Chains A and B, each alone.
Chain A
Amino acid sequence: MEIILDKQQLHLTILRLAHQLVENQTDLKEVVFIGLQPRGLPVSKLIVETIQTLFPDEAVNYGVLDITFYRDDVRNELHKATRTDIPFSIEGKKVMLIDDVLYTGRTIRAALDALQDFGRPQKVELCVLVNRRFNRELPIQPDYCGKAIDTLTSQKVKVEWDKEQVILY
């Protein structure tokens, strides 16, 4: 087992991602942040909370998206569906998708599909805490990335929120 990000690094990374996500935005009202259920929920929440402290007077648009019903492997493996809560229109908005680990890219593919059902965004960007650069199965790359790592297929990456660290095993 190898620690990729320890507690302090994890906090600093989230702080950096939060700043990167907003540094080029002219109007926060035109941006929506969407965390992907279930594993992207904690990281997206922390990032959005950080952004909120940076802009205490602005309402930050934050929603969560469950992509279970959009997966392309329904007939091989069932996943438990969780809550989707996007209480605003994403029509014409800049959507920031937030997830914990980017690996095969299939979850993001499903998320892009799912987003279409909520309107036509002006732009979609992807922010991930960990980017596993090898073994991508689709042409999908992150726009914002906490840490990029090179791993083998046999290895696994896990974000342990209770211990506040990211491990490779």
Chain B
Amino acid sequence: MQLSTKHLLGIKNLLPQDISLILSTAAQFKEVLQRPVKKVPSLRDVTIVNLFYESSTRTRISFELAEKRLGADTINFTASGSSVSKGETLLDTVNNILSMKVDMVVMRHSASGAPHFLAKHIPAAIVNAGDGINEHPTQALLDAFSITEKLGGLEGKRVVLIGDIMHSRVALSNIYLLKKMGAEVMVAGPPTLIPKYIHEALDVQVEYNLKKALEWCDVANVLRIQLERQNQVLFSSLREYNLAYGVSKKLLDGLKKEIVIMHPGPINRGVEIDSDVADGSQSIILQQVENGVAVRMAVLYLLAGIKS
């Protein structure tokens, strides 16, 4: 019983049974996190480095907490204030860290494919914590875990990803995962933020009308508008975006059913989602964050057990 892969670079190269194994292991770790002593000694002989070349709050804290709850030793690296500013290359930085006997690397990088590059050159196991606009596998896994927890499963469930699909690594990982696990997937948003051939390439439905998309779905995963990745104007103003594609209480109340609202964070309140929706009873945004620790514990635990 082990994962089919040595690294977690993306959902794309995972098998459905890998995903099931991660989710079922995460459920056991969630139980551990409810105990008075929220810690197990599984990885007490493992050292993990968190390499964050891009800013992060949730993911970094969540990974660090997951590592500590597993009893692993952790070191944190952030690009600012390091020798990266002196011109050291990614590979040199990592090799220097690994020479101090580090077993696993958790990495976030603004360049898509950075962890894949690293995986070809270093022996340590790599967990992708987000690479550019490519993938963010642990976010998709925790989203899947949260949906399963809330609705009892993924198969046949209708999930709509709303907003900035073009620049979202969360969207891509979610699409891969949900399709592999038998869910129906739709993307919704303004045409400028949805890749043109996404329907043909990834076999997902495309909808430009938010109300129709919400009426269709069981779960709405609202994505953040990633202003930092947009180098041209793709919609005229944040206010206009909010009027056309912001998820509001009024919109939700107009639906015939109650849908589940998710958001990977950080939230732009009043842009892609209104405050009363984000904090409302249909939202499981904070549960997603809570589940993130259990899911990341499962990923680290399962990868540490793979014999090289």
Contact = CB atoms under 8 A, between A and B. Distances in A.
A100 interface: no
A69 B304 CA distance: 12
Given A68-B28, A82-B28, A119-B36, A77 B41 contact: no
Interface in B9-54: 21, 24-25, 28-29, 31-32, 35-37, 39-43, 45-46
Most buried by A among B24, B31, B46: B31
B266 interface: no
A117 B36 contact: yes
Contact of B35 (A68, A71, A117): A117
Which label, helix, strand, loop or mixed, suits the secondary structure of the A interface? loop
A78 B45 contact: no
A74 B42 contact: yes
A80 to B, nearest CB: 5
Nearest to A73: B305
A131 B43 CA distance: 30
B35 A66 contact: no
A58 B288 CA distance: 41
A116 interface: yes
Contacts of A68: 28
A95 to B, nearest CB: 16
A78 B28 contact: no
Interface string B63-102: 0000000100000000000000000000000000000000
B40 A78 contact: no
Interface in A115-144: 116-119
Interface in A50-94: 66, 68-71, 74-85
B305 A75 contact: yes
B302 A83 contact: no
B32 A78 contact: no
B148 interface: no
Given A74-B42, A74-B43, A79-B1, A84 B28 contact: yes
Nearest to B71: A69
B45 A70 contact: no
Given A69-B29, A69-B41, A80-B1, 18 more contacts: A66-B28, A69-B301, A74-B301, A74-B304, A75-B304, A75-B307, A77-B305, A78-B305, A78-B306, A79-B1, A80-B25, A81-B25, A84-B28, A85-B31, A113-B41, A116-B37, A117-B35, A118-B36
23 contacts: A68-B28, A69-B29, A69-B42, A69-B70, A69-B301, A70-B42, A74-B301, A74-B304, A74-B305, A75-B305, A75-B307, A77-B305, A78-B305, A78-B306, A80-B24, A80-B25, A82-B28, A84-B31, A84-B32, A114-B40, A116-B37, A118-B36, A119-B36
4 smallest CB-CB distances across A and B, nearest first, come from A78-B305, A69-B40, A117-B37, A81-B28
